[in-house]
C-alpha cells in the first residue's frame, strides 16, 4: 500500500520519473532466478545454510544484492560469500563497544576464524546493525568451506590483508580517542584497505572463474581505482552521519587550510561558501579515479560481470554530481532519486553507454562549478579528462543506431573520414594489391625485422669470437 501511494505521489509531482520507474518495473527483468531448480547446483539454494546466506545478503546489502544474484554460474554464490565475510569483518571493526585489547586479535585472525567450523561472535553491542550476521557466523563458515579452492584462496588472502589494515586503524582510534586522516596519501591508503582490496579480490575471482581473461588479475591498479571511486563517493555522501558518529574520513590536508579546526565546523560555523570549497576538493579527489574505472570496464567481456561493475560506478558519478556544490549534503544524507537510479541500471549495459553517463555527469559538475572556487581550474581539467577519454574511445561524430553506424554530417571529422575512405577506394581500384590486410594476421614485416636483427647479432658474435681466436695470443 505504501509503495502504491508513493508511486501515485510520484505520478502527480514527477510524471517523467513515474514513467521511468514504470518502464523499469515492466521491462527490466532479473537475468537469473537463483531459486530456480536448474540453478541449485551453482546457487546452493537447495541447502538450508546457503539459503540463510542469501537472506543475510538481502539484510546487509543496500545496493549490491540484486546485481550479485545476477552473476553467472557459481560467481553469484562466491561473491555472496565474499561480501558477507567482508561485512562481518567490517562489523567488528566498526563496533566501538568492543575493547581494543579484544578487538585486535579477532581482527588479525579473522581469515582463520572464517574457516573454523562452529565459530561465531556474540559480543557486539546491541545497537550494531549487522550483529545478527556474526551471531550466526558459523553458517557463513560452513558455506565458505564449500567454495572452490581457487576462490577460497583469493578471498582469505584479501581478508588477511584487509583485517591487518583495519586493525591498525582501530588501534589508532582506541589509542588516540579518534583518528583524523592527515594527508590525501593517508586517505588513499585507508580507502585501499576498505575498498581497493575488495576490487583486487573481485578481479582475481573474475580471472579464476575463466569468465574473464587471465591477464585481468594483473590490472590491480585499475581495480584499486574502481574501489577508491566507490568508497570515496560514499565517504563524501555520508559526511554528516560519519561526523556525528565521530568517524573522520575527510583528510585534513583538504579541509584544514580553509580555517576549520574540526570537521563539524563545516556545518556549525555557517560558512557555507568555504564548506562547499572543501566539498569541491573532495569531489575533485574522487574524480581522478574516473578514467581508470572506464579503462577497467573496457577489459571486461562477460556481460554479468560488466553490469556488476558498471552499475555502482555509474551511480557513484551521479552521486558525486548530486553532492557537488550542494550545501544540503552537510545537513543530511542525500541520495539520487529512485527513477534516476533505475535509469542508470537500464543504461549501464556496455562501455560506450557508461562512458556517456560519466560524460553527462562530468558536464553537470562542470556546469555547477564556480570561478571563485579555489578548485575551479582543477575541476575543469578533471572533467575535460573524462570528455577526452570518451572522445578518444568513442568519437562523437560516429552515431550508433538501430539502422547501423552513421556519421554526423555537421562534424568536420566526418569530411576527413569520408576523404580517407575515398582515397583508400581509389588506391584499391588502381591496384587490388593495395587492399589492407586483416588486422588479425601475424605482422610478418615485424617478424622479418626481429629475425634479421637476431641473425645480425649472431653474425657479429661469431665474428668477435673468430677475431679473438685468430689474433689474441693463447696463454
**199-230: pLDDT as tens digits:** 999 999 999 999 999 999 889 999 999 999 99
Q: Which one of 179-188, 427-436, 466-475 scores highest in mean pLDDT? A: 179-188
Q: Give the pLDDT confidence score for residue 416 in this predicted structure.
A: 83
The C-alpha cell 578533471 sits at 382
Closest residue by Cα to residue 305 from 31, 34, 60: 31
Q: 81 and 144 in contact (C-beta within 8 Å)?
A: yes
Buried/exposed 128-138: b ≥16 CB within 10 Å, e otherwise: bebbebbeebe
Residue 441: pLDDT band by 50, 70, 90 thresholds?
Answer: very low
Residue 375: pLDDT band by 50, 70, 90 thresholds?
Answer: very high
Average pLDDT over residues 229-236: 95
Q: Which of 190, 239, 260, 296 is catalytic?
A: 190
Average pLDDT over residues 85-98: 89
Residue 409: pLDDT band by 50, 70, 90 thresholds?
Answer: confident
| Residue 246 annotated to the active site | no
Average pLDDT over residues 270-285: 93
Average pLDDT over residues 51-71: 88
381's grid cell: 581539467
Q: Which of 52, 247, 363, 427 is catalytic?
A: 247
Q: Give the pLDDT confidence score for residue 314 in this predicted structure.
A: 95
Q: Which of 87, 237, 240, 359 is catalytic?
A: 237
Q: Give the pLDDT confidence score for residue 354 in this predicted structure.
A: 96
pLDDT top residue among 433 and 337: 337
Q: Give the pLDDT confidence score for residue 458 in this predicted structure.
A: 85
Q: Give the pLDDT confidence score for residue 188 in this predicted structure.
A: 95
Over 80: is that where the pLDDT of 195 sits?
Answer: yes
| Residue 237 annotated to the active site | yes
Q: Which of 82, 83, 110, 308 is catalytic?
A: 308
Over 70: is that where the pLDDT of 445 sits?
Answer: no
Over 50: is that where the pLDDT of 258 sits?
Answer: yes
| Residue 247 annotated to the active site | yes
Over 70: is that where the pLDDT of 88 sits?
Answer: yes
Closest residue by Cα to residue 83 from 110, 54, 108: 54
Supply the mean pLDDT for the chain: 86
Over 70: is that where the pLDDT of 173 sits?
Answer: yes
Strand partners, 399: 406
pTM: 0.82
CA distance 293 to 362: 14
| Residue 260 annotated to the active site | no
% of the chain residues with pLDDT over 90: 55
Residue 253: pLDDT band by 50, 70, 90 thresholds?
Answer: very high
Q: What is the 3-state secondary structure (H, E, C) of the chain?
A: CHHHHHHHHHHHHCHHHHHHHHHHHHHCCCCCCCCCHHHHHHHCCCCHHHHHHHHHHHHHCCCHHHHHHCCCCCHHHHHHHHHHHHHHHHHHHHCCCCCHHHHHHHHHCHHHHCCCCCCCCCCCCCCCCCHHHHHCHHHHHHHHCCCCHHHHHHHHHHHHHHHHHHHHHHHHHHHHCCCECCCHHHHHHHHHHHHHHHHHHHHHHHHHHCCCCHHHHHCHHHHHHHHHHHHHHHHHHCHHHHHHCCCECCCHHHHHHHCCCCCCHHHHCCCHHHHHHHHHHHHHHHHCCHHHHHHHHHCCCCHHHHHHHHHHHHHHHHHHHHHCCCHHHHCCCCCCCHHHHHHHHHHCCCHHHHHHHHHHHHHHHHHHCCCCCCCHHHHHHHHHHHHHHHHHHCCCCEEEECCEEEECCCCHHHHHHHHHHHHHHHHHHHCHHHCCCCCCCCCHHHHHHHHHHHHHHHHHHHHHHHHHHHHCCCC
Residue 2: pLDDT band by 50, 70, 90 thresholds?
Answer: low
Amino acid at each position: 500500500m505504501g509503495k502504491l501511494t508513493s508511486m501515485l505521489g510520484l505520478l502527480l509531482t514527477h510524471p517523467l520519473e513515474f514513467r521511468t520507474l514504470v518502464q523499469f518495473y515492466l521491462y527490466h527483468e532479473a537475468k537469473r532466478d537463483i531459486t530456480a531448480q536448474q540453478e541449485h547446483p551453482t546457487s546452493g539454494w537447495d541447502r538450508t545454510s546457503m539459503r540463510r546466506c542469501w537472506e543475510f545478503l538481502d539484510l546487509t546489502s543496500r545496493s549490491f544484492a540484486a546485481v550479485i544474484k545476477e552473476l553467472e554460474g557459481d560467481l553469484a554464490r562466491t561473491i555472496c560469500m565474499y561480501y558477507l565475510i567482508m561485512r562481518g569483518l567490517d562489523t567488528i571493526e566498526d563496533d566501538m563497544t568492543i575493547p581494543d585489547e579484544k578487538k585486535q586479535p579477532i581482527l588479525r585472525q579473522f581469515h582463520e576464524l572464517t574457516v573454523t567450523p562452529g565459530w561465531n561472535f556474540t559480543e557486539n553491542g546491541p545497537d550494531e546493525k549487522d550483529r545478527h550476521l556474526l551471531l550466526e557466523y558459523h553458517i557463513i563458515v560452513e558455506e565458505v568451506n564449500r567454495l572452490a579452492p581457487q576462490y577460497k584462496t583469493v578471498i582469505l588472502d584479501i581478508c588477511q590483508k584487509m583485517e591487518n589494515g583495519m586493525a591498525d586503524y582501530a588501534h589508532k582510534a582506541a589509542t588516540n580517542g579518534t583518528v583524523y586522516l592527515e594527508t590525501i596519501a593517508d586517505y588513499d591508503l585507508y580507502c585501499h584497505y576498505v575498498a581497493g582490496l575488495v576490487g583486487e579480490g573481485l578481479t582475481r575471482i573474475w580471472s579464476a572463474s575463466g569468465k574473464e581473461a587471465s591477464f585481468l588479475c594483473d590490472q590491480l591498479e585499475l581495480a584499486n581505482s574502481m574501489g577508491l571511486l566507490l568508497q570515496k563517493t560514499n565517504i563524501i555522501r555520508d559526511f554528516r552521519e560519519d561526523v556525528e558518529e565521530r568517524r573522520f574520513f575527510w583528510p585534513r590536508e583538504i579541509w584544514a587550510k580553509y580555517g576549520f579546526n574540526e570537521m563539524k565546523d563545516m556545518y556549525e560555523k555557517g560558512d557555507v561558501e568555504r564548506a562547499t570549497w572543501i566539498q569541491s576538493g573532495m569531489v575533485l579527489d574522487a574524480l581522478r579515479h574516473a578514467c581508470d574505472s572506464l579503462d577497467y570496464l573496457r577489459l571486461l567481456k562477460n556481460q554479468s560481470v560488466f553490469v556488476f561493475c558498471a552499475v555502482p560506478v555509474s551511480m557513484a558519478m551521479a552521486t558525486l554530481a548530486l553532492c557537488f556544490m550542494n550545501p544540503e549534503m552537510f545537513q543530511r544524507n542525500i541520495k539520487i532519486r529512485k527513477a534516476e537510479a533505475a535509469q542508470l541500471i537500464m543504461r549501464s549495459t556496455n562501455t560506450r553507454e557508461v562512458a556517456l553517463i560519466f560524460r553527462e555527469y562530468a558536464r553537470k559538475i562542470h556546469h555547477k562549478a564556480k570561478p571563485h572556487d579555489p578548485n575551479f581550474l582543477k575541476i575543469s581539467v578533471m572533467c575535460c579528462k573524462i570528455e577526452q577519454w570518451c572522445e578518444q574511445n568513442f568519437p562523437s561524430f560516429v552515431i550508433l543506431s538501430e539502422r547501423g553506424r552513421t556519421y554526423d554530417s555537421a562534424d568536420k571529422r566526418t569530411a576527413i573520414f569520408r576523404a580517407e575512405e575515398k582515397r583508400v577506394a581509389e588506391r584499391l581500384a588502381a591496384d587490388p594489391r593495395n587492399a589492407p590486410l586483416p588486422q588479425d594476421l601475424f605482422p610478418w614485416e615485424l617478424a622479418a625485422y626481429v629475425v634479421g636483427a637476431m641473425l645480425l647479432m649472431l653474425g657479429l658474435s661469431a665474428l668477435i669470437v673468430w677475431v679473438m681466436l685468430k689474433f689474441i695470443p693463447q696463454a
